[in-house]
Chain A
Amino acid sequence: MSLHTLTVAELAAGLRARRFSSLDLTLHFLGRIERMAPGLNAFVTVTADRALADARAADELLAKGGGGPLTGVPIAHKDIFCTDGILTTCSSRMLSNFVAPYDATVVERWKAAGTVLLGKTNMDEFAMGSSNETSWYGPVRNPWDPSRVPGGSSGGSAAAVAARLVPAASGTDTGGSIRQPAALTNLTGLKPTYGRVSRYGMIAFASSLDQAGVLTKTAEDAALLLGEMAGFDPRDSTSVDAPVPDYVAELSRPLAGLRVGVIREFFDKGLEPGVGKLVRDAIEVLRAGGATVREVSLPALPLSVPTYYVVAPAECSSNLSRFDGVRFGHRCEAPRDLMDLYKRSRGEGFGDEVKRRIMTGTYVLSAGYYDAYYLKAQKVRQVITADFARAFGEVDVVLGPTTPTPAFELGAKTSDPITMYLNDIYTIGANLAGLPAISVPCGFVSEAGRDLPVGLQLVGPHFSESLLLSASHQYQQRTDWHRRLPPGYE
């Protein structure tokens, strides 16, 4: 059994039992990255020297009988997390010269847990996108079909884990950016409750929606990695001071008695029939495991996408105002005056989608439009949240497809922004309501002679990550979709 086919849990056990060393693992994954990452464009920076140093330190600790659940396990971070002394770009020209002077809390915590940093993964620029086609460093390709997108914005993390170039990776999810790429690449992707994981050092896109999470091969791995990522951080003013459960210990909770609500509005005309069928098959697996299933209605949910495309751009226009060419980041040549410095540095530094969203945000926040757009959207957000709350009064989790279609071809949706935005139609609701949500592999559809992965999504009440993880784990005990590898990456 090749090292890259082992889960994080299996790698951790193997390391502790000294069946292989962290150095063995690190060299193995660095080798795969060197051979296979360029074809996928999954990484912005590969931190080989740092990885080897981390591995040696981990091996020393393990040799003394020390270390914790993740000591010596290689990981990668989405290039949105500040990593001290290492280029941190958000896949943007604006930060193409930015060496972070500190570690994000997420980075700090996984480092303290003894992980080995393999590199920083490619992403949609400033996390704005659903296909990883907006990166300054070029698009990422889906290992299941290199002519197709891996999803976004955590496309690099998804491609890297799916191709088994790294056992697991961090991601961020503002409108679906962990779950949608996980669905398109046959991975497990978890977005925790808003406030569960610290946003300190995570370059901000939309501050009331952004949340860090993980892309892994299994729910068990997600439980392990979330456990080392979650928890109160006084440096993030929106961090919630609530205890972190032992997610791994709670994985064995049985499916029997789980009340599942199938979201009626997610089975609409936009859903590809092949995707819908696989989700319905998955529902039967849950039912056979003892879950009770009924339909629930979240009538305001179809307004998720327009609500998001007012709120998120508004917040991004504020967050990205710090990129002004003055203190860090791209500065234009020979600025004539301060206004020229700002306009050209930002005009040159940001790509089109980023500029589009900043301008949308500026418009909806501007005098005369604030009430009609921004305030209205924040009210609709309240209504959507109330719909979920009402559903959770009757069921434990709600369920639906993660995306309306499998992975689409590069360039297929770039001509009209709205077409791209509609990819997030099933994922955005959870971000608006701050709810935890997970996508797990539930089968494959065949398109143009290729098998393309499909994701099943579960959304739970605030701080129900344990429940989402255990239900997903139980589903993964009864299915083996998540074990399949893309052809050529075995």
Chain B
Amino acid sequence: MSLTRAQVEGIAHLARLEIVEAQMPVYVDSLSRIIDFVEQLSAADTGDVAPMAHPLADQVQRLRPDVVSETDRHEKYQQNAAAVAAGLYLVPKVIE
């Protein structure tokens, strides 16, 4: 199933990925091949089987007591940030 260039541009936007113009045809081609390849799943007989979200059937989401267990280590964690001021991450202006 071939994807159109417009579809691939739409997907790139949803995924917040910039694809440079020169690479666009390559992406359209390879994504089309991949979607084409996975199409064979539509022919599979799955009857009324439930979709599997987790490989171990009897696992349930574990809960923990609602008590504070972490300490404030933001200074250490923010060392990897590109731009920080007063404990806040700086980004280009969002609100006009």
- Interface residues, chain A, CB within 8 Å of chain B? 97-99, 101, 193-195, 208, 234, 237-238, 240, 300, 303, 305-307, 309-310, 317, 321, 324-329, 331, 335-344, 346-348, 350, 352, 355-356, 358-360, 362-364, 366, 372-373, 375-383, 385-386, 416-418, 421, 432-435, 462
Contact = CB atoms under 8 A, between A and B. Distances in A.
Contacts of A416: 30, 33
Interface string B12-29: 101111111001001100
A435 to B, nearest CB: 8
Given A327-B89, A362-B11, 6 more contacts: A98-B80, A101-B77, A237-B62, A347-B17, A347-B20, A355-B15
Interface residues of B, number: 54
Contacts of A321: 16
Contacts of A385: 52, 55
Contact of A366 (B14, B16, B19, B76): B14
Given A326-B89, A328-B80, A329-B80, A383 B37 contact: no
B59 A240 contact: yes
A82 B34 CA distance: 31
12 contacts: A101-B77, A305-B37, A306-B37, A307-B41, A328-B81, A335-B91, A336-B92, A358-B17, A362-B11, A363-B3, A376-B41, A432-B55
Report the 6 A-B pairs with minimum CB-CB distance, sorted nearest first.
A434-B55, A347-B18, A378-B51, A328-B80, A379-B46, A343-B18
A250 B23 CA distance: 54
A96 to B, nearest CB: 12
A194 B56 contact: yes
Contacts of A383: 44, 46, 49
Contacts of B92: 335-338, 340-341
A348 B51 CA distance: 35
A356 B27 contact: yes
B42 interface: yes
Contact of A433 (B55, B59, B82): B55
B34 A360 contact: yes
A97 B61 contact: no
A335 B23 CA distance: 21
Nearest to B90: A326
Interface of B: 3, 7-8, 11-12, 14-20, 23, 26-27, 30-31, 33-35, 37-42, 44, 46, 49-56, 59, 61-62, 64, 73, 76-83, 89, 91-94
A432 B41 CA distance: 15
A373 B16 contact: no
Considering residues B15, B18, B31, which has the most beta carbons from chain A within 10 angstroms of its beta carbon?
B15
Given A372-B42, A373-B41, A379-B51, A363 B35 contact: yes
A342 B16 contact: yes
A363 B17 contact: no
Contacts of B30: 356, 416-417
Given A359-B11, A359-B31, A434-B56, A379 B49 contact: yes
A421 to B, nearest CB: 8
A49 B7 CA distance: 51
Nearest to B15: A362
Contact of B52 (A240, A338, A341, A378): A378
